[in-house]
Homo-oligomer: A and B are copies of this chain.
Amino acid sequence: MSALVGGVEAGGTKFVCALGRDGEIVAETRIATTSPAETLAAALAFFKHQGSPAALGVASFGPIDLDERSPTHGFITTTPKPGWAHTDVAGPLRRALGVPVAFDTDVNAAALAEQRWGAARDAGSVVYVTVGTGIGGGAVVNGRPVHGLAHPEMGHARIPHDRAADPFAGACPHHGDCWEGLAAAPALAARWGVSPQSLPDDHPAWALEAHYLALGLANIILTLSPERLVLGGGVLARSGLLERVRIDVRGLIGDYVRSADIVPPALGNRSGVLGALALAADLAG
C-alpha cells in the first residue's frame, strides 16, 4: 500500500485539506480562506492532528511562482485577492511539517487527477478547462503538469470577437475581450443583464457561449493536441452546452487534424484536492 500523503486545495474562498492515498481520501477538512496566517495555521493544525503525511501537495489559485530556481518559488504572486499577493504558501507548510511539498496550479492538479483517477484515465496527454467565475486551464504533457516560465493562463488568450454580432466589450479587467472576458460567467451576466442561471436553454446566449468556448478550445487543441480534453465548471452545468461546444469545435477544426474527445470531469469538485494528493504521491515516490 502506498504511503499516506496530504493534499491542500488552496482556493480563494476555501482551503480543502485532505489525507489520503491512491485517490482515496481518509480524512478531510474545509477551512474558510481568511488571512494567509490564519488560513495556513488552520491547515497546519489539521495535518498535525492527523499525523504528518509522507509528502504534501498544494493545488493553488494563482498566479503562482513555480520556478524552482526562484526565491519566491511556492508563492502566490500577483493575485488581486486582498492580503494574498506575494504570499509564501508552500514554505510555511514545508517548514512546519518537515516534509517535501509539491506546488502547482489548481487546474494543473485537476488535469493530473482526472488523468489518474477520472475522465482521462487512458489518455497520455490531458487538458483540463474550467469555466465559472473565470476560465482556467491546466495540462499534463509527457507525464507531468505543464510548467515553463510560469504556468498556463489559457483564459486570457484572445479569440475572434465579432463586435457587430456581439457589441459587448468584454469583462476582463486586464484584457477586456479575452476568452475569459467574453465567456466566463461574469461576461454572461454583464452581456445579458441577468444571472446566467436565469437564461432559458433556448436563449441565444447559449449558442454564442458555445461558439466562444469552442474558439478557445479549438486553439488549445491545435496547440497541444491533447488526447482528452476535460471541460468543467459551473457554466457547463447548462444542459446541452457541452454537446454544442463539441459540434462547434468539430466545425472549427474540420478534417484537418483529429480533435480530442471533449468530456465532462469525472471527479467533479474533488479534482483539485485529489490533484493535490496526486502531486504529493509523485513526490513521495
Contacts and interface: CB of A to CB of B under 8 A. Distances in A.
Nearest to A151: B225
A184 B245 CA distance: 29
Interface residues of A, number: 45
Interface of A: 63, 78, 124-125, 137, 141-144, 146-154, 156-161, 174-175, 215, 218-220, 222-227, 252-260
A259 B225 contact: no
A225 B148 contact: yes
Contact of A142 (B146, B150, B154): B146
6 contacts: A78-B256, A142-B143, A149-B226, A150-B225, A174-B254, A220-B223
The secondary structure that dominates the A interface is: loop
Given A146-B142, A158-B159, A159-B160, A257 B225 contact: no
Given A149-B258, A156-B256, A256-B153, A223 B78 contact: no
B148 A260 contact: yes
A175 B256 contact: yes
A157 to B, nearest CB: 4
Contacts of A259: 149
B153 A222 contact: yes
Contacts of A124: 147-148
Contacts of A158: 159-160, 215, 218-219, 252
A163 to B, nearest CB: 9
A19 to B, nearest CB: 28
A257 B150 contact: yes
A147 B225 contact: yes
A157 B252 CA distance: 9
Most chain-B CB neighbours within 10 Å: which of A125, A150, A224?
A: A224
